[in-house]
Structure 1
Amino acid sequence: MSRRLSPSCRRPYGLALVCRLWKTSRTTLYRHRAKAGQEPAPPGRRGPAGAGSDADLLARIRAVLEASSFTGEGYRKIWARLRFSGTRTAARRVLRIMRENGLTAPHRPVRRDAHPHDGTIVTARVDEVWGTDMTQTVTTGEGRAY
């Protein structure tokens, strides 16, 4: 309707005028106009496309790992080296790809203190209560002191 010419002055009506007369917004008109000619697109991932496919990025990660003299590198260091070499991608994506392919750095085991006590206290007499408020410190000469 907005492309039709008015019979009196031979000018197009204009989209704003048509929408005002039809009592609808221009965004609604544009939405219906876009839907008329095509099927709805399947929902995809928003945002820019990354630095190539996951397979390409995996090959670049493997190249960075092979060039390193260390046995294990963390994802943050790999991500920084990729950025330095010109491959810009997200750190979470690097972490995900490294996890999926078993390339993450080996974790150090957590050092646990020795537990010489199993947690049970047996008293010599009935109705005898023991209590303690023990703190621990480490000395250079003797080791742990309580």
Structure 2
Amino acid sequence: MSRRTSPSTERRYPLATICRFWACRGHPSIASACGKRRTTRARPGAAALRVSPATLAPHRPATRAAHPHDGTVATERVDQVWGTDMTETFSTSEGRAYVFVAVDHCSGEFTGIHAASGASRWEALEPIRQGVSRHFAR
């Protein structure tokens, strides 16, 4: 039977004892639990064994309070809320092009539009910059 050395006591234990202690099956679980860094080939009988769900980290879904959002974002005045979006298109002569837009949620008017060959955060901010300079410049 295979044996593993305990990192804390420096004693060698049989694989079955380690599996009972860690509540898992098979040596892939043991290798990960013991912090084994190198990848080795599984023994013929251990290849079919899988890690049990008990060895996974606990997961708690976040609880959310009731959200009064009805699915629409409409404002009472112009220039209160703008929305942005990006779409991608392809040209056979020039390749990919990314089109960014900013839209006013009250009037539905485009406040800015920008096309670029890359989709960085700076390219995404360009329609907002255009809208701010057009609507709020002095």
User: One fold, TM greater than 0.5?
Assistant: no
TM-score after normalising by structure 1: 0.24
Which structure's relative contact order is higher, taking Cα pairs within 8 Å and 6+ residues apart? Answer: 2
Which structure: greater strand fraction?
2
**Greater radius of gyration (CA):** 1
TM-score after normalising by structure 2: 0.25
